[in-house]
Chains A and B, each alone.
Chain A
């Protein structure tokens, strides 16, 4: 899923300080699963905004809406009859949400309520970690199912650097050295030989280096 974190309330309040009627828009996709932008969080953010503005004697109307997804036009479209009722919208979807809202409703003022972090998964309740960097050419099968691009601080493809110590990366004792994990796993599987294979220089043009990307599936187009 795409994992995000709520922006500091002060930042959000500052963005909407001049408005009197705001719509907080949530998303039932990834951000609901990582508890940052679902229906529940929409309610919490809306209430927090109302409390803050009431406290300052500058009341605001904050309505709440949570779309099935903000990354699909048919769901973004569902706001078409109400968008003009609001001075601004705060989207608490990943970075795609506010952009899709702004593209679909060019006259609306749209603000992001969360900071999108990464593509990852839940290690436990309340803890998420990065697992994919979307390089566009998956290689995890070569590395015992671990991705050195997303999980090595230097994205090294040919073994650990000198900063690997006791299974941890030199950047933080909380960060595993993924190369330590790769070697451990392959040794356990008796597949250390597979690391002798030379991995050619990675073609980063499939990643962000090739510019903004697009996927087209002719078979699915209507």
Chain B
């Protein structure tokens, strides 16, 4: 398809979003990422049955942590798409990039 998406998005591959833990999302924020999102399969279509649903709950937990420490919870998001939806992957990358740009740089990076 040769679709393009913003170059600031760094993809980290995992076998299933069920592998993504709270600490992974926090580490990204701690190391200065302006935002981090999990791109999982469509709900109800997880090859491992509930990996993407677990990831969704973990994203929610991290949002709560960010809220508790006074950071924008929107810096962490969960998206769902099928592996055949290349255009949606690119669209989500653009959507998230725009959202994070609107929030501005992470205070973790700019204040330290």
Contact = CB atoms under 8 A, between A and B. Distances in A.
A8 interface: yes
Interface stretch (B3-11, B64-72, B79-87): B64-72
B90 interface: no
Contact of A55 (B27, B65, B71): B71
A10 interface: yes
A55 B108 contact: yes
Interface string B69-112: 11100000000000000000000000000000000001110011
B23 interface: yes
A51 B23 contact: no
| Main SS class of interface, A | helix
Interface in A3-21: 8-10, 13
A12 B68 CA distance: 11
Given A54-B111, A59-B112, A13 B30 contact: no
A43 B23 CA distance: 7
B108 A48 contact: no
Contact of B111 (A9, A48, A55): A55
Contact of A10 (B30, B68, B112): B68
B38 interface: no
B111 A47 contact: no
Interface in A32-89: 40, 43-44, 47-48, 50-52, 54-57, 59
Interface of A: 8-10, 13, 40, 43-44, 47-48, 50-52, 54-57, 59
10 contacts: A44-B22, A44-B23, A48-B26, A48-B65, A51-B30, A51-B71, A52-B69, A52-B70, A54-B108, A57-B112
Interface of B: 21-23, 26-27, 29-30, 65-66, 68-71, 106-108, 111-112
Given A9-B69, A55-B108, 4 more contacts: A48-B26, A51-B71, A51-B108, A56-B111
